[in-house]
């Protein structure tokens, strides 16, 4: 059997971090099994459709490296579809769904329902008050088929519902959860075709997965309650059912479902902050799955090699931002400094530290900041925090200890000597290596009594980046202004 899997998002806005993980697991499994991973757009719920969402989906997947081999792609700004099982956008497949729902009607496996919205709400209210499962009460199941067709022809509003058999046990094997067994008496006669002529998810997904040859359905556990109906639909059509894999939810640190209200949940949010695709993918793979060797840092090829559905957890995974930062920092540290600098430039521009026209003339200055920050940033936007100590003429001691250090009697004169040497010399590597020795020789002060006041006068901090690099980044003019400011305000 040739493995075929799919990622089938709805174009309702941004790509959720949970959606990225679902796509990733499908992709890894397909690659591991030398199979095919495709993307299908499920846009039959027109009330939730968001303009531009398909393009956003495709771009997000391309950025992440989870790239399908069949489905919609962007070429020259246009959506094009590639693959022999297209179209891959459900709204372009409506004729197919009508054909199959008509088959179910003729075989008495589905029926027309004319119940109004008001009646359905009343039924649900009564059931809820009685402590019963809220579901359709079967009011239209007994309508004669020919009579129902006449009512449709007369323009009466209707939907088409699945006619589940009574008291039938539906069983299926889930790769993650084992055997699942449900009685149809506990299920609803699901709507298959809506009044607007669009199929519901439950019909479209079955038809599409069958026609596209999907062998494994890997999706979130929120679809687990619907799967028995899908299994029955496969049986009703006389088709072989694929294997099911229901992935655990991703929770926040409060063990609640990830929500936009509580922080970043969209792939675009993390991309905007400057998380690397490699870091995000590496981390997301571990939220619900662990390799046999418990390795935590893995590139895409290593993930493919080690991935197995059998090691997907039954329990929900917690999205730990600190762990994500640790993983992402690993990939940042591996970047060439020029590559990292170029990735950081947009953040300097966005923050107004430089303008677009200065990115070449100030490149080396930015590169120095990036170079001394590379070991300490978890995502690219943090470079702005690291850059702050190199901006502006005024310096403020970070705490009382720093302020007291600048008040020591020897500090003003020592800072003036330091500044004199800075102003009289080129800030070459050789000079910067010996600057403190020169000051020590002239003033007699050394060790902490020398280094600490200079660092605090230049940056306001007790500890920080390498002083040679700090001096080089600040430059003569800013060093003089900061030393004069510190002497005049704190010494």
Contacts of 88 (CB under 8 A, 6+ apart): 38, 39, 40, 41, 70, 71, 72, 81
- Tell whether the model's pLDDT for residue 262 goes beyond 60: no
| 8 Å CB contact between 229 and 162 | yes
pLDDT in tens, 95-145: 899 999 999 999 999 999 999 999 999 999 999 999 988 999 999 999 999
Q: Is the pLDDT of residue 260 over 70?
A: no
* 400-490 fold: Arc Repressor Mutant, subunit A (1.10.10)
Q: Which of 99, 128, 145, 260 is catalytic?
A: 260
> Using a CB cutoff of 8 Å and minimum separation of 24, what contacts does 335-341 make?
335/374, 337/367, 337/370, 337/371, 337/374, 338/367, 340/370, 340/374, 340/380, 341/366, 341/367, 341/370, 341/371
* Domain spans, the chain: 4-75+250-321, 93-247, 335-390, 400-490
Q: Quote the pTM value.
A: 0.92
Q: Is 314 a catalytic residue?
A: no
Q: Strand runs (DSSP E) across 103-212, as ranges?
A: 110-113, 159-162, 169-174, 178-183, 191-193
Same CATH fold, 93-247 and 4-75+250-321? Answer: yes
Q: Which of 173, 172, 170, 202 is nearest to 186 (CA)?
A: 170
CATH number, domain 4-75+250-321: 3.40.50.620
**CATH architecture of the region 335-390:** Orthogonal Bundle (1.10)
Measured between alpha carbons, how far is 306 from 299 in angstroms, rounded to an integer? 11
pLDDT in tens, 349-360: 999 999 999 999
CATH class of 93-247: alpha beta
- Is 60 exceeded by the pLDDT of residue 261? no
What is the model's pLDDT at position 362?
96
289-345 tens-digit pLDDT: 999 999 999 999 999 999 999 999 999 989 999 999 999 999 999 999 999 999 999
């Amino acid at each position: 059997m040739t493995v075929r899997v799919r990622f089938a998002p709805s174009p309702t806005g941004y790509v959720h971090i949970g959606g990225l993980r679902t796509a990733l697991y499908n992709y890894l499994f397909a690659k591991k099994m030398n199979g095919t991973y495709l993307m299908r757009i499920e846009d039959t719920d027109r009330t939730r459709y968001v303009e531009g969402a398909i393009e956003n989906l495709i771009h997000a997947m391309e950025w992440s490296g989870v790239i399908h081999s069949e489905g919609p792609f962007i070429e020259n700004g246009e959506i094009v579809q590639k693959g022999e099982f297209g179209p891959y956008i459900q709204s372009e497949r409506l004729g197919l769904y009508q054909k199959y729902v008509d088959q179910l009607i003729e075989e008495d496996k589905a029926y027309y329902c004319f119940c109004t919205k008001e009646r359905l709400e009343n039924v649900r209210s009564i059931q809820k008050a009685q402590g019963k499962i809220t579901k359709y009460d079967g009011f239209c199941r007994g309508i004669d088929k020919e009579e129902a067709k006449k009512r449709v022809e007369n323009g009466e509003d209707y939907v088409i519902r699945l006619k589940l058999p009574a008291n039938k046990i539906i069983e299926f094997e889930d790769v993650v959860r084992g055997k699942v067994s449900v009685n149809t008496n506990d299920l609803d006669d699901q709507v298959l075709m809506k009044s607007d002529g669009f199929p519901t998810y439950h019909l479209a997904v079955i038809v599409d997965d069958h026609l596209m040859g999907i062998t494994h359905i890997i999706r979130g556990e929120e679809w687990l309650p619907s799967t028995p109906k899908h299994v029955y639909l496969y049986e009703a059509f006389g088709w072989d059912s694929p294997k099911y894999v229901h992935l655990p939810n991703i929770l926040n640190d409060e063990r609640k479902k990830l929500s936009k209200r509580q922080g970043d949940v969209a792939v675009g949010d993390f991309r905007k902050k400057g998380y690397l695709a490699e870091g995000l993918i590496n981390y997301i793979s571990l939220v619900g799955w662990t390799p046999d060797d418990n390795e935590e840092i893995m590139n895409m090829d290593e993930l493919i090699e080690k991935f197995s559905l059998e090691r997907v957890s039954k329990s929900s995974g917690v999205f730990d931002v600190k762990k994500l930062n640790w993983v992402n920092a690993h990939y940042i540290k591996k970047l060439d400094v020029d590559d990292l600098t170029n990735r950081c430039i947009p953040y300097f521009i966005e923050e107004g530290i430089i303008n677009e026209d200065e990115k070449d003339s100030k490149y080396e200055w930015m590169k120095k900041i990036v170079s001394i920050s590379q070991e300490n940033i978890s995502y690219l936007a943090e470079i702005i925090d690291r850059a702050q100590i190199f901006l502006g003429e005024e310096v403020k001691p970070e705490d009382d200890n720093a302020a007291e250090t600048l008040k020591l009697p020897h500090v003003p004169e020592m800072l003036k000597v330091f500044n004199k040497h800075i102003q009289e010399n080129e800030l070459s590597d050789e000079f910067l290596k010996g600057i403190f020795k020169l000051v020590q020789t002239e003033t007699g002060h050394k060790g902490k009594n020398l280094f600490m006041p200079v660092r605090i006068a230049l940056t306001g901090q007790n500890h920080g980046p390498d002083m040679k690099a700090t001096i080089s980044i600040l430059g003569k003019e800013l060093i003089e202004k900061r030393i004069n400011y510190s002497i005049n305000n704190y010494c």
